[in-house]
C-alpha cells in the first residue's frame, strides 16, 4: 500500500514533482561544480603562477661569488665551478619529478661579436632529453614563458642564435641575418624580447656556448620551475634537526625547500636555493585565491541548500489537503511523515544523480574555458554529494512536513489556512 | 461594536482599498510572507556579496601581487649613472601610487683582494619593495652593512667588521645582518646610499619601481616616466606584469563563473518560494474574481505584492550582502571589501524582475481556472 501511495504520488503529480526535482538537480549541479572547481583551483592557479618563471636556482657548490651588475656578468669565465650537463636529466628521477614543470640551464660567456664585447647566454630552448624510458622536452620556453621571439626559436642542436631586441636594434639585425661571433658566422633565427637584461645579449643553444668556452658539458646555473605547496611551519624547519618520521613527512611534501633538497641529491656538487621573490609570493597569492574560492564555495553550497529547502517546503505546503484526507481516513502522523520523507529521498536521489552528472559537465566546461585544461571530478564525491542532497532535502522538508502533519484535517479539507 | 468599527473607518484616512489589501495580505499570512521575504533577502544578499567581491577582488589581489616587487625599472643608458634629479622626478610622477628605490653598484675589493659587488640603496624603501628579502637584522646606523648570504663567506666569514676598497678609497663596515634571496642579491653587500656615495662618489644607476594600479595605469606611468627621463631607459618587468595579468584574469574568470552559478541558484530559490506563495493564495484570487474584480486589477495586485516583496528583500539583502563581502574580505585578505553602492540599483532591479516573473508564472496558470473550481478546493 505504502509503495503504491508513493508510486501514485509521483505518477499523478508530475508537475509538482518535476519542479521540486529540477530545484534539487540544479542545486546539486551547482554544488558539485563548485566543489570540483574549488578543490582543483589551487592546482590550476599554481600552474598559472609558474608563468612567473623558475622558483628554484641550482648553482655549483664550490662556486665563487657572482659579479653581476644589471645582469652583466663581470666574472672571468675561467673563474668558478660548473655543473655537469650530463647530470641534468637526473632531475626526472627525483621523488617530486611530476611537480617539476621544467628546467633550463644557463651558461653565460663573453664573446666578441661584430667587433663588440657582448654576453652570449647558452641555454636550452625546448631540448629533447630522456631519462630512463621517459622522454621529455624542457628549456626556457617552459621556465621563462614571458620570453617572446619574433622570427623562430633556434633548434637546440643547431648553431643558430637569438639576438636581444635592444642589441638587434643597435646592430640593425633582422631574423635571417648573419652575425659574426668570435670570427664565425651564425644565423639569427629570431629577435628575443624579455623586458630584462637578455634584451642586450645573444642567446644561443647551450652546445654553442660550451664550444665557445671550450668546456663541453659545462653549466653555470640551472633554473628549475616546480609546482610547490605553500610554506608552513614544517617547511621552514631545518631537515637536520628532524627525527626520521618528521623528515619523511617533510621529504614527501612538495615544499620548495624539500624539492631544493632533492635537487641537491640528484645533481652532484650542487647547491639549490629557492628564488624567494617567486617562491615566497607564490604561496601567499595561492593561499589567498584558495581561501577566496573556499568561501565562495561555502556561499554556493548555502545558496543551493536554501533553494532545495525552499522548493521542498513549497511542494509539501501545497499538499495540505492531501494530508488532511489521509489523516481523516485514519493515517497516523508517523505514516504521513514517512510517506513524505520517502518521496523526498527518492527525489533527492534522482535529482542528486542527474545533478552530479550535470555538475561534472559544468566543472569540465569551466575548466576548459578558463584554464584550458580539464577539471576532473572524483567519483568518490558522488556518495558524498548524494548524502548531502538527501540531508538538505530532509532538512528543507522537515519543518514543512511537521506543520502539514500538525494541521487540523478539518481545516485542511475545507481548504482554509 | 459595529458602530465603533464604522466610526473608526469613517475617521481613518482614506487609504485606498488597494493598499489596504496589500497590507492585510502581508499581516494575515505573515508566515508565508516571511518565508518569501527570507528567500528574497538571501538571494539579494548572495548576489550583492558576489558582485562586491567580483568588483573588489582585482584590487585586493593586485595588492598581493605588488609583493612580487618592482614592475618597472629605470636604468641609465650604457652603464652610466642616472642624472641626480631622477629619483625626485620619478617620485613626482608616481605621486604616492607606488614605490621607487634607487640602487648604485660598484665592484669593490676585499682586504684579501677578492672582488665583490657592493650596492648602495635606501633600506627603508627596499624593505617595503622587496618583502621577500629574508634579512636577519636590518642595518640601523651608518657604516652598517647588509651582507648577502654568499658574500658573507668572502667579506666577513666570522661576522667581524671588515674593510672594502674602491679605487683607492677604503671603508670600514660592520655586518649588521645577512640577506638571503636565492638570487643575485646573495652575492652582494648592501650599504645605505649616503655611506655609499660618500665612499665611492658613484650615483645610482638603477631605480626599481613598484607602480600600483591596473595594467593601463602602469602603462601610462611608464609612458610618463619615459617622457620625463629621456636620458634613461624605462622598461616594464615583463616577468612580473605578464604573470600578474594571467593569474588575475583566471581568478576573475573563475569567480565570475561561480558568481553566476550562485546568483542563478539564488534566483531559483526565489522563484520556487514566490510561486508557492502565489499558488497558495489561489482562494484569495478566486474570491476577488467572484466579487467582480477585473483580471487587470488582480494581476496588478499580485504584481504589486511581488514588487514590494522584491524591493524590501533587495534592500535588506543588500545590507547583509555588504556585510558578508566585508567579512570575506577581512577573513581572506585582511582588509574589508569596500561597499559598492552602484551595485544597489542592479540588485534592486534584478530582485524586482525575478519577483515579478515568479508571480507572473502561477498567475497565468490561475487565470485559466474558473473561480468556482478553486473555491471548491479542487
B220 lies in the same domain as B114: yes
Determine whether the interchain pair A66/B180 forms a contact, defined as Cβ–Cβ distance below 8 Å. no
Instruction: Say yes or no: B337 contacts chain A, CB-CB below 8 A.
Output: no
> Is residue B296, in this structure, part of any structural domain at all?
yes
Nearest to A138 by CA among A148, A149, A147, A125: A125
Instruction: Say yes or no: B50 contacts chain A, CB-CB below 8 A.
Output: yes
Nearest to A254 by CA among A270, A240, A274, A271: A274
Question: In this complex, which of A34, A69, A371 lies closest to B250 when CB atoms are compared?
Answer: A371
> Is residue B40, in this structure, part of any structural domain at all?
yes
Instruction: Say yes or no: B202 contacts chain A, CB-CB below 8 A.
Output: no
- In angstroms, the Cα distances linking A129 to A88, A94, A136, A204, B80 are 9, 16, 6, 18, 42
Name chain A contacts of B205, Cβ cutoff 8 Å.
69-70
Domain boundary among B181, B204, B236: B236
B151 lies in the same domain as B180: yes
Name chain A contacts of B116, Cβ cutoff 8 Å.
65, 67
> Is residue B345, in this structure, part of any structural domain at all?
yes
Task: Tell me how far apart the alpha carbons of residues A166 and A173 are, in angstroms, rounded to a whole number.
Answer: 10
The pLDDT tens digits of the residues spanning A362-383 come to: 898 888 888 888 887 888 888 9
Task: Tell me how far apart the alpha carbons of residues B130 and A386 are, in angstroms, rounded to a whole number.
Answer: 49
B44 lies in the same domain as B174: no
Question: In this complex, which of A70, A275, A317 lies closest to B276 when CB atoms are compared?
Answer: A317
Question: Any residues with CB less than 8 A from the CB of A110 and at least 6 apart, and which?
Answer: A73, A77, A117, A118, A119, A120
The burial class, CB within 10 Å (0-12 / 13-18 / 19+), for B41 is: buried
Exposure string over B43-82, b if 16+ CB within 10 A, otherwise e: bbbbbbbbbbbbbbbeebbeebbbbbbbbbbbbbeeeeeb
Backbone angles phi, psi at A72, to 5 degrees: -90, 120
Structural domain span for residue B322: 17-63+250-375
What is the total count of domains within chain B? 2
Instruction: Please report, for chain A, the start and end positions of each structural domain, with discontinuous segments joined by +.
Output: 2-46+284-414, 55-274
Task: Tell me how far apart the alpha carbons of residues B154 and B265 are, in angstroms, rounded to a whole number.
Answer: 64
Domain boundary among B211, B236, B261: B236
Dmax over CA atoms of chain B, in Å, equals 115
Determine whether the interchain pair A48/B246 forms a contact, defined as Cβ–Cβ distance below 8 Å. yes
B258 lies in the same domain as B358: yes
> Is residue B94, in this structure, part of any structural domain at all?
yes
The four Cα atoms A386, A391, A395, A401 give a dihedral, to 10 degrees, of 80
In DSSP terms, which residues pair with A56 in a beta bridge? A224, A274
> How many Cβ atoms sit within 10 Å of the Cβ of residue A62?
11
Domain boundary among B185, B207, B236: B236
The C-alpha cell that represents B159 in the structure block: 661576522
Question: Any residues with CB less than 8 A from the CB of A93 and at least 6 apart, and which?
Answer: A131, A132, A266
B225 lies in the same domain as B206: yes
Determine whether the interchain pair A53/B239 forms a contact, defined as Cβ–Cβ distance below 8 Å. yes
Q: Is the pLDDT of residue B10 over 60?
A: no
Task: Tell me how far apart the alpha carbons of residues A38 and A29 are, in angstroms, rounded to a whole number.
Answer: 14
The ipTM is 0.79
Contact B145, B175 (CB under 8 A): yes
Site of grid cell 511523515: A337
pLDDT tens, per residue, chain A with 417 residues: 778 877 877 777 777 778 788 888 888 888 888 888 888 888 888 888 888 888 899 988 877 777 777 666 676 666 678 899 999 998 988 888 888 999 999 998 888 887 788 889 999 999 999 888 888 899 999 999 889 999 999 999 999 999 999 899 988 989 999 998 888 889 999 999 988 888 889 999 999 999 998 888 899 889 999 988 888 888 888 888 888 889 988 888 888 889 999 999 999 889 898 888 888 888 888 888 888 888 888 888 888 888 788 778 777 777 777 788 888 888 888 888 888 888 888 889 999 999 999 999 989 888 888 888 888 788 888 898 899 888 888 888 887 788 778 877 777 666 554
The pLDDT tens digits of the residues spanning B245-268 come to: 888 888 888 888 888 888 888 888
> Is residue B365, in this structure, part of any structural domain at all?
yes
B191 lies in the same domain as B270: no
- In B270-329, the residues whose Cβ lies within 8 Å of chain A are 272-273, 275-276, 279-280, 283, 324, 328
Q: Is the pLDDT of residue B357 over 90?
A: no
Backbone angles phi, psi at A266, to 5 degrees: -75, -35
Determine whether the interchain pair A276/B42 forms a contact, defined as Cβ–Cβ distance below 8 Å. no
pLDDT reported for residue A417:
47
B33 lies in the same domain as B102: no
The C-alpha cell that represents B347 in the structure block: 540588485
Name chain A contacts of B234, Cβ cutoff 8 Å.
none
B309 lies in the same domain as B263: yes
Question: Any residues with CB less than 8 A from the CB of B237 and at least 6 apart, and which?
Answer: A195, A196, B70, B71, B72, B73
Nearest to A291 by CA among B327, B270, B342: B327
> Is residue B7, in this structure, part of any structural domain at all?
no
Task: Tell me how far apart the alpha carbons of residues A278 and B58 are, in angstroms, rounded to a whole number.
Answer: 20
Q: Is the pLDDT of residue B174 over 60?
A: yes
Amino acid at each position: 500500500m505504502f509503495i503504491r501511495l508513493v508510486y501514485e504520488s509521483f505518477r499523478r503529480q508530475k508537475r509538482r514533482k518535476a519542479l521540486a526535482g529540477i530545484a534539487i538537480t540544479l542545486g546539486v549541479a551547482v554544488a558539485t561544480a563548485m566543489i570540483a572547481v574549488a578543490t582543483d583551483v589551487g592546482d590550476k592557479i599554481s600552474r598559472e603562477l609558474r608563468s612567473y618563471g623558475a622558483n628554484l636556482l641550482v648553482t655549483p657548490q664550490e662556486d665563487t661569488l657572482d659579479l653581476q651588475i644589471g645582469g652583466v656578468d663581470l666574472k672571468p669565465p675561467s673563474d668558478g665551478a660548473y655543473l655537469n650537463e650530463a647530470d641534468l636529466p637526473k632531475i626526472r628521477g627525483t621523488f617530486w619529478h611530476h611537480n617539476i614543470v621544467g628546467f633550463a640551464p644557463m651558461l653565460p660567456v663573453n664573446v666578441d661579436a661584430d667587433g663588440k664585447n657582448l654576453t652570449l647566454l647558452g641555454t636550452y630552448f625546448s631540448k629533447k632529453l630522456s631519462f630512463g624510458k621517459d622522454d621529455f622536452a624542457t628549456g626556457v620556453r617552459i621556465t621563462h614563458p614571458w620570453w617572446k621571439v619574433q622570427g623562430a626559436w633556434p633548434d637546440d642542436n643547431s648553431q643558430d642564435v637569438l639576438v636581444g631586441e635592444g642589441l638587434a636594434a643597435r646592430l640593425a639585425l633582422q631574423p635571417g641575418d648573419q652575425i659574426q661571433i668570435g670570427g664565425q658566422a651564425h644565423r639569427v633565427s629570431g629577435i628575443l624580447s624579455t623586458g630584462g637584461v637578455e634584451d642586450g645579449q645573444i642567446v644561443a643553444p647551450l652546445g654553442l656556448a660550451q664550444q665557445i668556452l671550450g668546456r663541453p658539458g659545462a653549466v653555470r646555473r640551472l633554473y628549475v620551475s616546480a609546482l610547490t605547496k605553500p610554506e608552513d611551519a614544517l617547511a621552514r624547519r631545518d631537515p637536520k634537526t628532524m627525527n626520521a618520521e618528521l623528515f619523511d613527512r617533510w621529504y614527501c611534501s612538495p615544499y620548495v625547500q624539500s624539492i631544493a633538497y632533492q635537487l641537491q641529491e640528484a645533481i652532484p656538487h650542487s647547491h639549490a636555493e629557492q628564488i624567494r621573490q617567486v617562491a615566497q609570493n607564490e604561496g601567499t597569492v595561492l593561499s589567498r585565491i584558495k581561501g577566496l574560492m573556499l568561501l565562495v564555495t561555502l556561499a554556493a553550497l548555502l545558496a543551493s541548500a536554501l533553494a532545495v529547502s525552499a522548493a521542498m517546503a513549497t511542494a509539501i505546503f501545497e499538499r495540505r489537503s492531501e494530508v488532511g484526507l489521509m489523516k481523516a481516513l485514519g493515517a497516523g502522523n508517523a505514516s504521513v511523515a514517512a510517506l513524505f520523507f520517502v518521496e523526498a529521498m527518492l527525489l533527492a536521489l534522482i535529482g542528486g544523480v542527474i545533478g552530479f552528472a550535470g555538475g561534472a559537465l559544468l566543472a569540465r566546461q569551466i575548466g576548459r574555458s578558463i584554464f584550458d585544461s580539464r577539471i576532473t571530478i572524483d567519483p568518490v564525491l558522488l556518495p558524498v554529494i548524494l548524502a548531502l542532497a538527501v540531508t538538505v532535502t530532509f532538512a528543507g522538508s522537515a519543518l514543512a512536513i511537521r506543520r502539514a502533519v500538525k494541521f487540523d484535517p478539518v481545516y485542511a479539507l475545507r481548504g482554509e489556512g | 461594536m459595529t458602530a465603533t468599527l464604522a466610526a473608526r473607518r469613517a475617521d481613518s484616512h482614506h487609504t485606498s482599498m488597494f493598499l489596504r489589501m496589500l497590507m492585510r495580505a502581508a499581516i494575515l499570512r505573515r508566515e508565508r510572507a516571511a518565508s518569501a521575504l527570507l528567500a528574497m533577502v538571501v538571494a539579494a544578499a548572495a548576489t550583492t556579496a558576489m558582485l562586491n567581491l567580483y568588483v573588489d577582488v582585482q584590487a585586493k589581489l593586485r595588492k598581493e601581487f605588488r609583493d612580487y616587487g618592482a614592475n618597472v625599472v629605470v636604468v641609465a643608458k650604457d652603464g652610466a649613472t642616472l642624472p641626480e634629479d631622477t629619483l625626485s622626478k620619478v617620485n613626482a610622477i608616481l605621486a604616492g601610487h607606488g614605490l621607487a628605490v634607487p640602487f648604485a653598484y660598484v665592484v669593490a675589493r676585499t682586504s684579501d683582494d677578492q672582488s665583490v659587488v657592493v650596492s648602495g640603496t635606501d633600506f627603508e624603501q627596499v624593505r617595503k619593495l622587496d618583502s621577500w628579502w629574508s634579512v636577519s637584522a636590518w642595518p640601523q646606523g651608518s657604516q652598517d652593512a647588509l651582507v648577502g648570504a654568499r658574500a658573507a663567506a668572502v667579506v666577513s666569514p666570522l661576522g667581524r667588521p671588515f674593510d672594502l676598497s674602491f679605487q683607492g678609497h677604503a671603508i670600514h663596515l660592520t655586518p649588521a645582518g645577512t640577506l638571503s634571496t636565492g638570487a643575485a642579491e646573495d652575492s652582494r653587500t648592501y650599504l645605505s646610499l649616503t655611506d655609499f656615495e660618500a665612499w665611492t662618489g658613484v650615483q645610482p644607476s638603477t631605480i626599481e619601481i613598484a607602480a600600483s594600479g591596473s595594467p593601463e595605469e602602469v602603462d601610462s606611468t611608464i609612458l610618463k616616466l619615459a617622457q620625463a627621463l629621456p636620458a634613461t631607459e624605462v622598461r616594464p618587468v615583463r616577468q612580473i606584469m605578464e604573470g600578474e595579468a594571467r593569474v588575475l584574469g583566471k581568478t576573475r574568470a573563475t569567480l565570475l563563473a561561480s558568481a553566476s552559478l550562485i546568483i542563478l541558484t539564488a534566483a531559483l530559490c526565489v522563484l520556487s518560494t514566490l510561486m508557492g506563495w502565489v499558488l497558495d493564495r489561489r482562494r484569495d484570487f478566486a474570491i476577488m474574481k467572484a466579487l467582480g474584480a477585473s483580471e487587470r486589477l488582480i494581476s496588478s495586485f499580485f504584481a504589486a505584492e511581488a514588487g514590494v516583496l522584491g524591493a524590501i528583500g533587495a534592500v535588506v539583502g543588500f545590507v547583509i550582502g555588504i556585510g558578508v563581502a566585508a567579512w570575506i574580505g577581512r577573513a581572506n585578505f585582511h582588509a574589508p571589501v569596500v561597499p559598492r553602492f552602484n551595485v544597489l540599483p542592479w540588485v534592486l532591479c534584478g530582485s524586482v524582475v525575478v519577483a515579478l516573473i515568479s508571480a507572473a508564472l502561477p498567475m497565468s496558470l490561475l487565470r485559466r481556472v474558473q473561480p468556482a473550481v478553486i473555491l471548491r478546493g479542487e
